[in-house]
Structure 1
């Protein structure tokens, strides 16, 4: 086999290892769990929800601090507050008093969420220029964990535009896309490798179905938090939640294939626009 096909096959081979998460009798209550996930995040957002979950898994934050300084509002749940308070050796009440303010929005969707109080210069109080980056990186709020790919705004933009978003000011996203572009460059002149990748996630095989289910479940964890995703995993009978590194090799292929489709659609749109202008 050629090196590109080798790499694709090696990454796809990791799908078999996901079977170790299954209970002896196989998955339980799959239909019920899929219905619950549909209520949480409609499949109208696909392929953007799972695609962005895959990008998130492959992304490596460079802790440049740009999003810490530029984000206008950072919402925190009560669970976020408790985790941050423990990390800072504060009571939850003290943390809320010192570091948060009431949410500017009201209603059921907001619930008990609050906003982080910004520093006088408008940056997050946990941004440390000396690092540089987040001083509470390991327990940062869920909305920060989900950024950029699985933020609510990005999902809305992806669905509205019919394409995946790029984040040109984020060095981590630039690096990720460059790596995927280099990957595609390596298989552009090898049709069997391209065909293998194009067909990989269209297969009805049990391994692919399991991967896509676990990827969507992982997306729920990233978007809503572990406390919302864990009950779903338990209903499925999973021994535990899948770890990022277990999904990452195949997630790279999945995201790369979606971005390539995205690129081809954009090229087609530009061509159609050019032809219409010429007419």
Structure 2
């Protein structure tokens, strides 16, 4: 049985690979759990490991020494032979020897029982250690599975980010191409506007030239018409003067004798045609 009044001291293991701070944390955790359990049961390695936040190897090594120190606690003081028996005779010595043998046997039985108990505790410690290792192995597998899931999610997110970056680059490229096309269209529109303005200016110039030519032609036609009117007026005056002149000539000229007409027949029996003399020309 464990001594309920025992409080294990801090352990310093002869392992150079274990940090003293880790040993102190494990020892303090074991003491705390042992006190919380009312000194009725030794805390498990896994519980100490979790409380101390240490790895399984360090916790098992420190807990082994902690158990040994707990088992090495001083037990009840054995009764010693009274001083008065030292000078007793052989009978008393024999009785003392028997009593000593009995005491030795009792101590041997107690030691054997303690050994059996320690072996049981060691077996329980081994079982707890195996259970703790199994639990830690499961935790490690779960952590590895979670890590694999996180890596898979990270890869998926990385792939999604790469695709998004590619789409962003394509969108920026398309936007740049659209801006280039829009800029070219705007430049073409400006050129067309300039060409339209130039065409309108040319049309205005041609229209002005046509209007000027039309005005000149109208003016020339009006002048020609006026000239024709003047010529017609002059022609009328000349005709009037010619008529008057013919009248005066007719009044001043005596009548000529009429020639005798001879009737002759042609062989066909028809009288010859009378050909009138042409009229005198009228002067204009």
TM range (shorter): under 0.3
Point out the structure with the larger strand share. Answer: 1
**Larger Cα-atom Rg:** 2
Point out the structure with the larger helix share. Answer: 2
TM-score (norm 1): 0.23
